[in-house]
């Protein structure tokens, strides 16, 4: 087994060797890289996926706590955060009463972290020009934008997440949108997308984020058909460090999948789309996620916490090694049945130690699930499958990534879908500064 070891520290992967800073003047984790190789395009059609690479997802529009007494019909929607269009199913179910349990205080409080957003008045929507569309969804889209006034040494290319207020309210996503802003504004980690500023106009709310040009891990996995254990180990180690950081604040992510993992110019992963992230000190009953990645406790409405992210690590590890997830079917309910039965088919290409790691993540008993036992994330770091990984060097980004996306400029969009240019009339704040946006009281976005 090849090892991930730390080489002699290299200069930051910017072309000039100088450290770049973000729009706020802070050191930036993700920096430009020179042109590198790309993976040959030979994608198979994995089971459970459509021709265009979309995967059906189960998503909820409201956190259903134990006292929820209503049931709403199911309807379809689509997530908006990257180039991959994904059908979604939004549902609300009735749950039985559960006795409260004492909350588990995190080692770090998210509220104690500094808010890393631009101060009001420093940036305006009209300071940006739109360069293209990176992705679309039910109540929003993601744009590639450029800061009109370029300051040497500062980043000028960003991703702008645009959410239509009326749709956010109609789909009852207000709490999720507010939580996404609250969480992302306080997180700063090499493997988590950065949020720099938020805005609003009369129609939309806007989130200014770092642009990660390497595209989705899902796209690169489809090109390669499947990854070797060493490539899988590199990417899974990225994710584990990101989850360890999130869980230190009692933040659960709940939407881990290759489509939400972007490659930065140096080939490291960046976790994006925090629409379902939530601070959970004990349990929550939210029904959300992608069917193939749902943990049994979510399906059984038993209440869930951090353990669901570790279950998803097992599903993701299998998908990277095999090319498709372990539980797939034509319908979500067929997937749920297979998840609860727990029968995993092991191709001969999956070695014994990899099987042991995946099985440790996929334990239905949360008290015995790797990452959720007494040792917490440290148990994952010390698992024999990761023997030889220099975790500190990996977090410092001193290890060469196995796939370095081919890019020629900071605004290169070749790894995203080629979508039509947006109609700026639907985004009045980007066309011209509104004197006094007529914010509707029911929209409840006071912090944007």
Query: Which residues contact residue 209 at a Cβ distance below 8 angstroms, ignoring those fewer than 6 apart?
Result: 158, 159, 160, 161, 184, 193, 194, 195, 196, 272
Helices 229-247 and 307-322: angle between axes, nearest 10 degrees: 160
Phi, psi at 77, each rounded to 5°: -150, 180
Give dist(CA 80, CA 141) in Å, integer.
6
* Strand 278-279 relative to strand 251-252, pairing: antiparallel
**Could you give the dihedral angle defined by the CA atoms of residues 427, 428, 433 and 437, in that order, rounded to the nearest 10 degrees?**
-100
Catalytic residue among 22, 255, 273, 412: 255
Q: What is the rounded radius of gyration, in angstroms, for the C-alpha atoms of the chain?
A: 21
Q: What DSSP element (H or E) covers 204? A: strand 204-210
Residue 177, classed as helix, strand or coil, is helix
Residue 227 CA, chain-centre distance (Å), reads 20
Residue 340, classed as helix, strand or coil, is helix
Q: Is 255 a catalytic residue?
A: yes
Phi, psi at 332, each rounded to 5°: -55, -40
Q: What DSSP element (H or E) covers 11? A: none
Give dist(CA 389, CA 375) in Å, integer.
18
Give dist(CA 122, CA 116) in Å, integer.
13
The dihedral built from the CA positions of residue 44, 50, 51 and 52, taken in this order, carries a sign that is negative
Indicate the length of the chain as a whole number.
Answer: 448
With CA atoms as reference, report the closest residue to 326 among 310, 312, 306: 312
CB 291 within 8 A of CB 340: no
The reply, when asked if residue 124 is annotated as ligand binding, is no
Phi, psi at 216, each rounded to 5°: -75, 145
Please give the annotated binding residues for ATP, written as ranges.
Answer: 161
Enumerate the active-site residues. 255
């Amino acid at each position: 087994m090849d090892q991930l070891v730390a080489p002699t520290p290299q200069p930051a992967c910017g072309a000039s060797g100088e450290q770049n800073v973000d729009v706020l003047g802070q050191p930036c984790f993700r920096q430009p890289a020179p042109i590198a190789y790309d993976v040959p395009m030979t994608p198979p059609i994995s089971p459970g996926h459509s021709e265009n690479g979309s995967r059906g997802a189960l998503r909820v529009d409201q956190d259903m706590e134990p006292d929820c007494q209503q049931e709403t019909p199911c309807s379809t929607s689509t997530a908006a955060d990257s180039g991959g269009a994904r059908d979604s199913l939004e549902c609300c179910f009735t749950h039985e009463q559960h006795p409260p349990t004492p909350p588990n205080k995190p080692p770090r409080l998210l509220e104690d972290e500094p808010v890393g957003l631009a101060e009001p008045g420093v940036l305006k929507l009209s300071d940006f020009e739109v360069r293209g569309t990176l992705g679309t969804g039910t109540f929003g889209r993601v744009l590639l934008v450029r800061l009109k006034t370029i300051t040497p040494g500062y980043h000028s290319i960003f991703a702008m997440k645009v959410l239509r207020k009326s749709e956010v309210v109609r789909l009852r996503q207000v709490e999720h949108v507010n939580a996404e802003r609250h969480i992302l504004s306080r997180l700063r980690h090499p493997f988590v997308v950065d949020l720099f500023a938020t805005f609003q106009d009369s129609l939309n709310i806007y989130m200014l984020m770092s642009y990660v040009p390497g595209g989705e891990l899902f796209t690169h996995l489809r090109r390669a058909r499947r990854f070797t254990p060493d490539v899988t180990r590199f990417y899974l180690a990225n994710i584990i460090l990101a989850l360890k950081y999130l869980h230190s604040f009692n933040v659960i992510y709940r939407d881990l999948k290759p489509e939400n993992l972007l490659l930065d110019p140096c080939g490291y992963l960046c976790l994006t789309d925090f629409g379902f992230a939530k601070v959970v000190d004990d349990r929550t009953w939210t029904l959300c996620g992608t069917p193939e990645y749902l943990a049994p406790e979510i399906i059984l409405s038993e209440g869930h916490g951090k353990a669901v992210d570790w279950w998803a690590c097992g599903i993701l590890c299998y998908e990277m090694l095999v090319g498709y997830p372990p539980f797939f079917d034509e319908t979500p309910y067929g997937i749920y049945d297979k998840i609860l039965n727990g029968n995993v088919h092991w191709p001969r290409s999956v070695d014994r130690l990899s099987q042991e790691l995946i099985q440790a993540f996929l334990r239905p008993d949360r008290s015995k699930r790797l990452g959720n036992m007494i040792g917490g994330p440290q148990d994952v770091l010390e698992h024999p499958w990761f023997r030889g990984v220099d975790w500190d060097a990996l977090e410092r980004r001193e290890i060469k990534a196995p796939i370095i996306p081919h890019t020629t400029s900071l605004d290169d969009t070749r790894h995203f879908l080629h979508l039509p240019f947006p109609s700026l009339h639907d985004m009045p704040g980007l066309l011209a500064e509104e004197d006094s946006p007529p914010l509707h009281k029911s929209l409840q976005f006071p912090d944007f």
